[in-house]
Structure 1
Amino acid sequence: MAGIAIGLPGAALAQGSQEAAGDTVALPPVDVRAAAPANALQHPAPVSRLPGSVQDTPQTINTISREVLEQQNVTTLEQALRNVPGITASIGEGNGGVNGDQFRIRGFAAQNDIYVDGLRDFGAYTRDAFTYEEVSVLKGPSGFALGNGTVGGAIAVGTRLPHLGNSYGFTATGGMGPFARGTIDLNQQIGETTALRLNLMGQSSELVDRDGVDSRRWGIAPSIAFGLGTDTTLSLHYQHYEYDNATDSGIPVIAPPGGTIARPMTEFGLPRSTWYGLDSDRDEVTADILTARLSHKVNDWLTLANDTRLSFIDRDYVTSIVSCAAATCVTPFFQRRGGVVTASGAGNPYHQESWGIQNVATATARFTTGPLRHELLAGFDIMYEDFERTGYNLLGTRPAIPVFGGQGDISLDRGAASYKRNGNNTTYAGFINERLWLIPELSVIGGVRVSHFDVDYDAVTYATGIRTGASPSKTVVDPRASLVWEPTPSQTYYATYSVSHTPPGLLFSTQPATAANFNSNFDPERNELYELGAKVGFLENRIGVYGSLYRILKSNSLAPSETDPTALVQTSDKQRNQGVEIGVTGQITPAWTLNANYTAMDSETTSSTNAANIGRRVQFVPEQAAALWSTYEFNRASPWNLTIGGGVTWRDKVYLNAGNTAEAPANLVFDAMISHRINDNLRVQVNGYNLGDALNYDGLWANRIVPSPGRTVLFTLAAEF
């Protein structure tokens, strides 16, 4: 894992004039921020449609705090999510599919289930963490709160917004790769209730032991907030983000002669540094995102909110998706005679322009009727997304690449357009959720979301003139029911049932390949969650312990095609994933923090059109996974202060296909950090990643896999005022 520090909040400086008039003193405004509790169960729920705290929410939620993000020098969303067991990352499927951030939660695709400040983060691209305040993962179907998709859960990011008081943070990081990154985080109060904030980031880097994989990116995110500390607040946040990355579609997964189980070629002696890309294989993205959030407290029992996001994503993409044929690659490779890999046209260039807009209006009412206490939340969610993707041929022929790499400096120019795909989808949804306290310790929760989806899709292949289209329209109902017992404020025990749907055609904008296999008779993909759980605070709530037993039932699943692993198809398969998850978060002592999570999962395909897949494990689902991060502060507030931290992430082996004939070995990563505060304003930090230099794997797909970087050490200087 390669990482870098992000801007620190720094010490708040009171801003304002102090004037004396007789015995009257006008005090300056103060910074009303409070540090987030180390016990993440005490944090607010990550989306406003889930009122209350993480502890109050009857669902497993993993939260990675700002403090942990800084200690680990996290730079991307993927790096942040390595703290959450049960999440795996996938590779892009090629010209017709998704490329960029692709995650699976408990084995189920969450490619379109990333939310920032409670609103959908449109588009498929690789996200940078330079504006992140914290990252949370909602485990299990969450359609009642977030809408379409969310069949395995959802990823919820909270961004840095303006606050009262002033703070100025700067970081610079460099190290192996080579790696260079700088960030700025400035907050300025400009009135009694108004503040501005500016986040900047620039990075140039390469990965250790992944030859040719480089990244250049920068971003700027100004924001302003009005009415801070009052009953009516308005925040406006804009982010411009660009990157130019080398694409890495991984290495082939092959079975040795006479073998039945395929594994990455690196397991048979291929150096993990081997990269099969060309110089022209690039992923170039420009993202412009504007978010407005308005909240008004009408009175003591009613609060209204309205949130809006407008996003524009422009993307140019080309990659080399290689395969290893038996005669020209597998046999000579195992005979140590070399051989060549070949690239398919699925990695040919495309240019996609997409935009989306979402508006969510909610009303939250807290009131009593006789002896009963109520918390009622209701609202509307309207969303529109539009995309246009143009595919191109390459001038010249992709060369056969030596198995051990070393293809030299090869660049192919873009040729004539080969196809065009465009479409849009519109969502109208209404939701209502009621929590009713029967007695102070016992409450029931019931909610439902009704969503209507209209999708229009059109595609034309220029060489043949063949035009295809689809216009699916569906209405789905996502219910939720929970029973919650809270004998004390620090104890929560619950039972939950919820449902989420993904209607056919909903992923056309991020994954046009699904249109090639579209069948209007398919029912929506459906997930049902049954969960029993507990969340308990100890040591005056400094530390929280949580655990859950769950079962997820999935029907009409999406899966890589058995005949064409570069494409994703809709099937009528039924899958089940059940298991246990336990975790600890918070401070054992004021100087010792601990965040640890473990999950064990028992997955199975219970029904399939391919009889050979029945009874097999669900692809990309490990049987066990764990993540731990802990730090200890020595001599706090003294010149000899030192903070030492470290952690481990572990994932059991996973199968890469439904037939369980291809697998990715287990991952085991050790990371560490050491930090020293020079004075009130300066801090130095050293981070080491994959200290054991283990051969691990980040991105997974049915026939390809991406090796992780080797041992990496980075140095950071952070200033805060």
Structure 2
Amino acid sequence: MAKTTLAVSISTAMLMPLAAHADNGADTAAAEKDEKTGSVIILGKRLDPNPNAEQGAAYKAKTSADSRHTRPIAETPQTISVVTKAAIDDSGLTDLKQILGAQPGVTLGTGENGNAFGDRYIIRGQEARSDVFVDGLRDPGMSTRESFAIEQLEISKGPNSSFAGRGTAGGAINAITKQATLDHDFTRVSAAVGSDSHHRVSTDINKGFGENFALRANLLDAKEDVPDRSPSSRQRQGVAISGLYEASKDLSVTLDYYGLRTHDKMPDLGTYLSGTVPNRVAVTNIPVYAQQSDFLKSDVDTGTARINWTIQPGLKLTSLTRYGKSSNAYVTTGASGGTRYDGATGKAYTTSYIDSGHTGWQDIDYFAHQSNLRWDKQLGGLKHEFIFGLEYTDHQVVSGNYNLNNSGFNCRSATGNATSPFIGPNNALCFTNSAGVPVANLSTLAVRNVQRLSWNQDWRVKTTSLSVMDTVDLSDKFTAFGGLRADYFDLSLVRRNNTTDVITGSYGYNDTLVNGHFGLSYKVAKDAIVYASAATAQDINGGEADAGTASGYGGAVLYNNQIAGAKPETSTNLELGTKWDLFDHKLLATAALFQTTKKDVMEGANYDTIGTFNTGKNRVRGIEFGLVGNFTENLSGQLGGAFMNSKVLASATASNLNNPLSNFAKQTYSAQLKYQATDAFSFGGTARHESDRCGGQPDTGAAVTGGVCQQPVPAFTVYDAFASYRFSRRFDLRLNVLNLSNKDYYTAVYRAGFFMYKGDARAVRLTLNYEL
């Protein structure tokens, strides 16, 4: 799109200083006069470079960035929650784990099975750690993810395999990245300081060169101590570069590079559960017990090529090709508590103690291509919007672990010979001695020699997919959507002993998955619909790259030392909903009743050579509602809530029957409101709530005995506040206070209770945003 004189003039006008309007009564009167005469007055608001934004409603997205959604979000028969960049910025949250954890229907999990790779999301009770997409392509790297290069986050709720392929039992997360644009030039710099040694500097620069080429660069440097948990710290560096070549109005090519380096030093695993059922509680005031040699690192490098080609009116090709490499590595320490012994005297005492450590590394190599051909055609007197899709992916994950030679033992566990079981060489690492005196330096308690071992697992999946979708107006009131997708995959898994290099197992199989999605909407008013939809999704045997043969976590179910002939786990979602686009499309109200049933669940009764497969079944029912956009001229926000129940309907373990799913919160809701008090000053706040949850193994139900949870996570409500003042068109200042009441709360628990992630304590951030 060429920049005309008019476009440049409008862009310049849109950056007029808000403060000038606030302070000049004559200008205000003139503005009122011009409004009466129909003149257009721009009050210094930024032109949003996000092409999917609803202009004039910063928190509301008009369309999905996924071209397969041919209608606006308000007309799509599915629950899709969108978090815009404006909402992210106002919230003060930066990591995707923080942002998504605040969304209704989404909870967080811990690194299960001793695995601490990246972030773990749970949508409507179903695992989604591998169901994260970037611009519509699956991101197989289970890394720590950042928001600096994100334009908006789209969370599709309910099974979604017709769009996203295998997995997606509870939904999918699609991160939409910032792209170069020819619409206007800008340079924005944000610099933040705060409590806990927080600093964060980011830039967003877009520049057009002539009529056909634009370049956009986003840079990030950030570091902070974990609030109230120093010396645990987080560090993020990133770069995202996007180059756009617009050969004509019908053909454009975009090339992107994305690089991110994250490094958590002495990552904090929080606290642990103590006591016996029904009195299991989180240990409070526990010191930071992470060891100096502990770390959590993630490196990501990806390159993406995009082609948008309007072949002829009504026929458009959208093509994406990506190659990427990423690596994850960690050494972490968990803690527990109980009885330990003085090795010299055999004296028993109660203390906290650290474990021997958890380790792992991954090298991920992936290639993906997706082409979607949209064909708008009148057939049989009806308007059809066809999408024909072709996708090929090749994802490989090679992983291993580290050898930790622990020493520095200062207490003894209950092991030893028959005559003196409590006296002998120390073999444990305790917070205190038998007199209750804390160790001098807890972070150096374990003397460790960290040695990276060679690989012990090579996981690879190649997938070829074909899909067809159609949105058709059956009448001026009824619109139908139908989608069908077939995924042919070939999975291989090689396991070996990484100390002897002996292959211990080589497994593989292939299959074809077929899934569908159907929706029917009825327009009850000009901008309001009611709809019904049905969709399916399938998880494959061994589909989780990080789980190996731990079948209870999505790893391969084995039988007689071969991949078991298990059926795919199949999820079916039924949904009834309504969407109302109000106030001249500035506010979207949604509500949906849903039921997701998952059958043929691979439970994994054992974690060795024999698994239990296709014996489980579970169900989630609930209602979700949302409001996003402008409530009044000065009040905007995003509100939502999900109220759900889950139930295990079938299981190989009788005690699991009727239990809720693990890490499942029956109630989650959040609200983010912003009030524009004057043209220059705005303020707002957020609140998020999660009801109590119970830990356990995915799919097989929460760890409940006699109706009492063994690994409880208590309910919590957390409040944040923010305020912003625009001094001129060039800069504004924003203050964020996170966890305003400094509440102790916990976001997830390990299935055995050995560690329990603690939410961040109060943190204060002051951010200067400057436009050059």
| Rounded Cα–Cα distance in structure 2 between residues aligned with 1:416 and 1:643 | 51
Aligned to 2:78: 59
The answer to whether the 8 A contact 1:64-1:83 is kept is: no
Question: Could you say if the C-alpha distance between residues 701 and 342 of structure 1 is closer, same or farther in structure 2, counting changes exceeding 3 Å?
Answer: same
Q: Are positions 1:474 and 2:488 aligned together?
A: no
The one-letter code matched in structure 1 to 2:668 is: A
Q: CA deviation at 1:694?
A: 1.0
The residue type paired with residue 454 of structure 1 is: D
Say whether 1:683 aligns with 2:732: yes
CA contact (8 A) 2:352 2:430 kept: yes
Partner Cα separation in structure 2 for residue 338 and residue 558 of structure 1:
39
Query: For residue 625 of structure 2, what is the aligned residue in structure 1?
Result: 582
Distance in 2, Cα, partners of 1:222 & 1:39: 24
- SS of the equivalent of 2:312 reads coil
* Aligned match for 1:529, one of 539, 559, 573: 573
Amino acid of the structure 1 residue aligned with 2:516: P
Write the deviation string for residues 336-391 of structure 1: whole angstroms up to 9, x where unpaired.
9651324145x13x332111011011111111124211111111110001122132
Q: 1:593 aligned to 2:629? A: no
Aligned counterparts, 1:405-416, within 5 A: 407-409=442-444, 410=446, 412-415=448-451
How far apart, in 2, do the equivalents of 1:133 and 1:228 lie?
24
Q: Distance in 1 between matches of 2:476 and 2:263?
A: 55
Secondary structure in 2 aligned to 1:612?
A: helix
Q: Does 1:76 align with 2:95?
A: yes
> Given the alignment, which residue of 322, 330, 341 partners 2:353?
341
State how 1:181-580 maps to structure 2 within 5 Å: 181-227=200-246, 230-246=249-265, 248=267, 250-251=269-270, 253-257=272-276, 259-260=277-278, 262-265=280-283, 270-271=284-285, 274-324=287-337, 326-328=338-340, 338-344=350-356, 347-348=358-359, 350-397=360-407, 399=409, 400-402=429-431, 407-409=442-444, 410=446, 412-415=448-451, 417=453, 420-463=456-499, 465=502, 467-508=504-545, 513-514=550-551, 515=555, 517-518=557-558, 519-557=563-601, 572-580=615-623
User: 1:292 & 1:13 partners in 2: Cα distance?
Assistant: 31
Q: Quote the residue 2:4 is aligned against.
A: none
Matched, 1:166 2:185: yes
CA contact (8 A) 1:13 1:166 kept: no
Q: Is the 8 A contact 1:98 1:511 kept in 2?
A: no
Instruction: Please give the alpha-carbon distance, in whole angstroms, between the structure 1 residues aligned to 2:570 and 2:496.
Output: 31
Q: Does the aligned pair in 2 maintain the 1:261–1:663 contact within 8 Å?
A: no
Cα distance change of structure 1 residues 277 and 255 upon mapping to structure 2, 3 Å threshold: closer
Residue 454 of structure 1, CA deviation: 0.6
Distance 1:577 1:146 in 2: 21
- Pairwise CA distance, 1:79: 2.1
**Please, which of 702, 705, 709 is the counterpart of residue 760 of structure 2?**
709
1:138 aligns to what? 156
Structure 1 unpaired stretches of 5+: 1-10, 15-29, 330-335
TM-score, normalised relative to structure 1: 0.88
Question: For the residues of structure 2 that align with 1:51 and 1:310, how far apart are their CA atoms?
Answer: 27
Return the alpha-carbon distance in structure 2 between the equivalents of residues 56 and 79 of structure 1: 29
User: Partner amino acid for 2:650?
Assistant: S
1:248 and 1:275 in contact (8 A); partners too = no
Go from structure 1 to structure 2 and tell me whether the alpha carbon gap of 1:571 and 1:218 turns closer, same or farther (over 3 Å shift).
farther
Q: Is the 8 A contact 2:64 2:72 kept in 1?
A: yes
CA distance in 2, matches of 1:698, 1:450: 37
Who is 1:667 aligned against? 716
Asked if the contact 1:386–1:509 (Cα under 8 Å) also holds between the matched residues in 2, the reply is no
How many angstroms does 1:508 deviate by? 2.5
Q: Could you report, residue by residue, the CA deviation over 1:51-99 in whole angstroms, capped at 9, with x for unpaired residues?
A: 221112111011111111111123111122134111111121255x451
CA contact (8 A) 1:499 1:526 kept: yes
Q: Name 1:21's counterpart in structure 2.
A: none
In 1, Cα distance between the equivalents of 2:142 and 2:766? 31
| Alpha-carbon distance between aligned partners in 2 of 1:654 and 1:558, rounded to the nearest angstrom | 22
- Kindly indicate whether residue 749 of structure 2 is the aligned counterpart of residue 700 of structure 1: yes
Distance 1:462 1:676, change over 3 A: closer
Deviation of residue 572 (structure 1)?
Answer: 2.7
Bigger Cα Rg: 2
CA contact (8 A) 2:550 2:607 kept: no
Q: Which residue, out of 182, 194, 199, partners 1:175? A: 194
Alpha-carbon distance in structure 2 between the residues aligned to 1:80 and 1:718? 20
Deviation at residue 417 of structure 1 after TM alignment: 2.7
Work out which of the residue numbers 622, 647, 651 in structure 2 matches 1:608.
651
Q: Is the 8 A contact 1:40 1:54 kept in 2?
A: no
Q: TM-score under structure 2 normalisation?
A: 0.83
- Aligned to 1:367, the other structure's residue is in SS state strand
Partner of 1:156: 174
CA distance in 2, matches of 1:550, 1:105: 13
Aligned pair in 2 of structure 1 residues 287, 540: CA closer, same or farther (>3 Å)?
A: same
The answer to whether the Cα contact below 8 Å between 1:76 and 1:129 also exists between their aligned partners in 2 is yes
Whether the aligned pair in 1 keeps the contact of 2:390 and 2:465 (CA below 8 Å) is yes
Contact 2:117/2:143 (<8 A) preserved: yes
Tell me how far apart the structure 1 counterparts of residues 144 and 95 of structure 2 sit (CA, whole Å).
8
Give me the whole-angstrom Cα distance separating, in 2, the residues matched to 1:112 and 1:145. Answer: 15
- Structure 1 counterpart of 2:475, which letter? I
Q: Secondary structure at the match of 1:317?
A: strand
Deviations 1:549-602 (A, max 9, x none): 00000124467x78889xx99763211000001111111122110210011001
Residue number in structure 2 paired with 1:114? 132
Q: Which residue of 1 aligns with 2:120?
A: 102
How big is the shift at 1:614? 0.7
Pairwise CA distance, 1:473: 1.4
* Match 1:622 to one of 642, 647, 665: 665
Mapped to 2, the partners of 1:300 and 1:516 lie a distance apart of 48
Q: State the identity %.
A: 23
Distance 2:400 2:314 in 1: 51
Counterpart in the other structure of 2:35: none
Q: How many residues align?
A: 675
Q: 8 Å contact 1:91–1:99 — kept in the other structure? A: no
Tell me, yes or no, if the aligned pair for 1:142 and 1:151 is still in contact at 8 Å.
yes
Q: Does structure 2 retain, via aligned residues, the 8 Å contact 1:82–1:649?
A: no
Alignment of 1:9-24 (within 5 A): 12=11
Task: Quote the Cα distance in structure 1 between the aligned partners of 2:212 and 2:185.
Answer: 13
Contact 2:91–2:686 (8 Å) recurs in 1:
no
Q: Is the Cα contact below 8 Å between 2:330 and 2:361 reproduced in 1?
A: yes
Do the aligned partners of 2:670 and 2:688 also contact (CA within 8 Å) in 1?
Answer: yes
Following the alignment from structure 2 to structure 1, what is the Cα–Cα distance between the partners of residues 761 and 605?
Answer: 32
- Decide which moves more: 220-229 or 643-652: 220-229
Separation (CA, whole Å) in 1 of partners of 2:120 and 2:255: 28
Q: Secondary structure at the match of 1:439?
A: coil
Kept in 2, the 8 Å contact 1:163–1:228? The answer is no
Most deviating of 508-517 and 711-720:
508-517
Q: Deviations over 1:438-463 (max 9, x none)?
A: 21211222221111111111111145
Tell me how far apart the structure 2 counterparts of residues 228 and 682 of structure 1 sit (CA, whole Å).
Answer: 35
TM-superposed deviation, 1:232: 1.1
Question: Could you say which residue in structure 1 is the equivalent of 2:28?
Answer: none
Preserved contact between residue 569 and residue 600 of structure 2 (Cα < 8 Å): yes
